[in-house]
Amino acid sequence: MCGIAGFTHLGSIPDPGRIAAITKTIIHRGPDQQGTFEDSIVSLGAVRLKIIDLGSGDQPITSEDGQTTIVFNGEVYNFGELRQELESLGHRFRTHCDTEVVLEAFRAWGIESFKRLRGMFAFAIWHQPTRELFLVRDRLGIKPLYFYEHAEDLYFASELKAIFEHPEIPRALDPDGLTYFLSLNYVPQPYTLAAGINKVRPGCFLRWQNGHLTQEPYWALNIWPDPKISLGDAKAELDHLLQLSLKEHLISDVPLGVWASGGLDSTTLLHYAAQQAGRQLKTFSVSFTGRSFDESRWFREVASVYNTDHHELDVNTDSGLADAIEQLAYYSDEPSADAGALPVWFLSRMTREHVTVALSGDGGDELFAGYQTYLADQYSQQAQSTPRFLRQSALSLLNLWPASNDKISFEYKAKRFLEGSLQSPEDAHLYWNGTNSLAAKQMLAPNLPHRPSSDLYRRLPSESGAAGPLNRHLWLDQLYYLPDDILYKCDRMSMAHSLEVRPPFLDHRIVEFAARLPESLKLNNGTLKHVLRELVRDKIPASVLSRPKQGFDIPVHHWFRTTLKPLLLDTLTEAAVRNSGVFSWPAVNELITRHLSRRINAGYQLWGLLTLFLWMKRWNIQTMAVPMASAPQPTAIIS
């Protein structure tokens, strides 16, 4: 696992120490080795966390003929079979790492090589003979890759902070990115919160040649359900694919463990990993003081059943919460309005004390319909038969209900459901996944129009509706929510502690398999993840199958009224809010006041605002220089 950075410099040669300084900003991603490459057109840098081939494989790697150079972040799990094929074609290797295999695959097959890679990756290849620079991101967006165009030159990096290191690049809020952030909790690709800086889209590559930039897909997510697939056939195929994926994801020359929440996805991975590993596995979990947030009874049972070397951490008021949140402003790159980033921070820190690689269950919910929101989508259609005024009246009554500190209380679920039922199906689904959707319009300053988040649905392929309503929601979540929220927070929090996290569910063969399943094998008579549950029903503890779904979250409502109240009030001051020029102080102040007085639970909304203002302060982010109405769209790289 590594971090990469680089830039082009047509017509000029930069300070030789510049690329080294830029690369150093992401040293936490790869503390084991740092290297650079420079010629008259391009500068490349890489930092390396050694996972495979500890003795060689330092980056950048240049081909024997000196014409092609690569910097690489990630893992390619089928590098062994690709190496054998390349050797049969006459290619010679000087290392035993996957990076050199990716380089030689490009030399053999060009851009066709990208679709032959199986894994998680973001890399840059400079091909000097044609003066072409390629930036490539994996199919699901597991590994990050940012870029910025300035005149004819291109700047790129694994993290924004490396791009910020260039003094000529402005640090201003992007208006579209901000409104998405407020309504969704995340910023969907290709946008970011930094004006002019975009994300390489998952499953795509950029080609820069002599100042001209294009983006092309090498893989596309297509959800085409096959109604002829039976439950038995689906179980057999998924079982086979999980065995293949876990076998590859366990490849490592350093210690490896499993993140265990006691839930269905992580326990499934632990079951298959235990079959493949042939040794005692290490497991890692975090819990929180408070009955509705404590999952320890489940992950302890799972650890006992699989006889793991188990490690756990209780994140409480003595865990340095305020200090950790302020560190997130640096390591998050962009602020995460998803409060689940904090437990991932503590889990990563603890895990890194014992191993260098961990497996996570990320992706299972988005592939097989594991969130309660998918049930809400279904029930909401039924609720439409109830007159609107009755639903509004019920919501008014519920708003008189005292706010609870519980994780997902009845009062919280009922209010959210009724609020969503008053919206379109697309708006409702995004609202249930986000936190600020309805409040965002009121919090923004009057001169800043609000971009509707439901326009993401219009970016889906026109035929997506034919896949069915559930599959359409899954399609959107896999394209945006998964890479830009779930995988984003996992990458930043784990790499902040130099920990590699691998998500075996996101092997693209499993993703393509899930895309072919009919909706009834995902959500069946109110049962979420139907095919996965049926597959492991006789494999994992029964308690895991019967436990209620719980997200990876924190008691943020309570903490903002107690432990984190000083940080909240010191950060979201009247001066800071007014000086931002972006938010309405009366609206923000009312949100804080109503939360502290327990009239509402606004902990998740306040988390988003807190992390945003800490981030803006840490990176000296200026307010938006271009009004939203005339702001330029990201480079023609949006399809």
Q: What is the DSSP string of 590-630?
A: HHHHHHHTTSS--HHHHHHHHHHHHHHHHTTPBPPSS-GGG
Residues in the chain: 639
Whether residue 254 sits in one domain with residue 323: yes
CB 90 within 8 A of CB 476: no
The domain boundary, picked from 529, 546, 563, lies at 546
Whether residue 165 sits in one domain with residue 299: no
Q: Is 495 buried (19+), middle (13-18) or exposed (0-12) by CB count in 10 A?
A: buried
Q: Is 538 buried (19+), middle (13-18) or exposed (0-12) by CB count in 10 A?
A: exposed
The domain boundary, picked from 150, 183, 217, lies at 217
What CATH number does the domain containing 72 carry? 3.60.20.10
- Residue carrying the six token digits 């983006």: 215
Does residue 82 belong to any structural domain of this protein?
yes
* DSSP 3-state of 136: strand
CB 176 within 8 A of CB 537: no
CB 309 within 8 A of CB 256: no
pLDDT on residue 551: 58
Distance CA(637)–CA(373), nearest Å, equals: 31
Q: Which helix (H) or strand (E) holds 530?
A: helix 530-536
Does residue 147 belong to any structural domain of this protein?
yes
pLDDT on residue 553: 63
CB 223 within 8 A of CB 189: no
Distance CA(193)–CA(164), nearest Å, equals: 13
Whether residue 150 sits in one domain with residue 22: yes
Distance CA(632)–CA(628), nearest Å, equals: 8
Distance CA(146)–CA(159), nearest Å, equals: 7
Taken in order 403, 404, 407, 412, the sign of the CA dihedral is negative
Q: Which residues pair with 48 in a beta bridge?
A: 2, 33
For the beta sheet containing 197-199, the strands, ordered from the edge strand earlier in sequence to the opposite edge, are 33-38, 42-48, 2-8, 153-157, 146-150, 197-199
Whether residue 164 sits in one domain with residue 76: yes
Q: Which candidate, 151, 163, 190, places its Cα nearest to that of 174?
A: 190
Whether residue 155 sits in one domain with residue 212: yes
Does residue 306 belong to any structural domain of this protein?
yes
Does residue 224 belong to any structural domain of this protein?
no
Query: How many CA atoms are closer than 13 Å to the CA of 512, on its beta-carbon side?
Result: 8
Counting as low any pLDDT under 50, the low residues of the chain are 438, 625-639
pLDDT on residue 504: 98
Does residue 375 belong to any structural domain of this protein?
no
pLDDT on residue 637: 36
Does residue 64 belong to any structural domain of this protein?
yes
Whether residue 264 sits in one domain with residue 203: no
* Helices vs strands, H then E, count in the chain: 26, 17
Distance CA(281)–CA(257), nearest Å, equals: 6
Whether residue 281 sits in one domain with residue 208: no
pLDDT on residue 431: 83
pLDDT on residue 197: 97
b/e per residue 150-182 (b: at least 16 CB within 10 A):
eeebbbbbbbbbbbbbbeebebbbbbbbbbbbb
Q: Which two tokens stand for residue 102?
A: 């990716």
Whether residue 14 sits in one domain with residue 114: yes
| End-to-end Cα spacing for the chain | 30
Between the alpha carbon of residue 233 and those of residues 226, 228, 634, the distances in Å are 12, 10, 43
Between the alpha carbon of residue 529 and those of residues 226, 432, 526, 549, 558, the distances in Å are 17, 19, 10, 11, 31
Does residue 599 belong to any structural domain of this protein?
no
Three-state SS for 386-435 is: CCHHHHHHHHHHHCCCCCCCCCCCHHHHHHHHHHHHCCCHHHHHHHHHCC
Whether residue 289 sits in one domain with residue 210: no
**How many degrees, rounded to 5, is the angle at CA 166 between CA 163 and CA 485?**
15
What CATH number does the domain containing 295 carry? 3.40.50.620
In this structure, what DSSP letter does residue 217 have?
A: E
Q: Is 491 buried (19+), middle (13-18) or exposed (0-12) by CB count in 10 A?
A: buried
* DSSP 3-state of 439: coil
Q: Between 425-433 and 469-476, two packed helices, what is the crossing angle to 10 degrees?
A: 50
Please tell me the total count of domains within the chain.
2
CB 47 within 8 A of CB 3: yes
Q: What is the pLDDT of residues 64-119, one digit of tens each?
A: 999 999 999 999 999 999 999 999 999 999 999 999 999 999 999 999 999 999 99
Between the alpha carbon of residue 307 and those of residues 16, 265, 281, 383, the distances in Å are 53, 18, 8, 46
Whether residue 240 sits in one domain with residue 206: no
Query: How many CA atoms are closer than 13 Å to the CA of 250, on its beta-carbon side?
Result: 21
Whether residue 482 sits in one domain with residue 358: yes
Give Dmax (Cα) for the chain: 75
Distance CA(434)–CA(39), nearest Å, equals: 46
Range of the domain at 364: 231-369+470-546
CB 48 within 8 A of CB 30: yes
Whether residue 349 sits in one domain with residue 201: no
pLDDT on residue 498: 96
Does residue 393 belong to any structural domain of this protein?
no
In this structure, what DSSP letter does residue 29 have?
A: G
pLDDT on residue 604: 86
The domain boundary, picked from 488, 518, 546, lies at 546
Q: Which two tokens stand for residue 46?
A: 């890489």
Q: Residues near 593 by Cβ (< 8 Å), separated by ≥ 6?
A: none
Q: Between 372-383 and 410-421, two packed helices, what is the crossing angle to 10 degrees?
A: 50
Distance CA(637)–CA(313), nearest Å, equals: 43
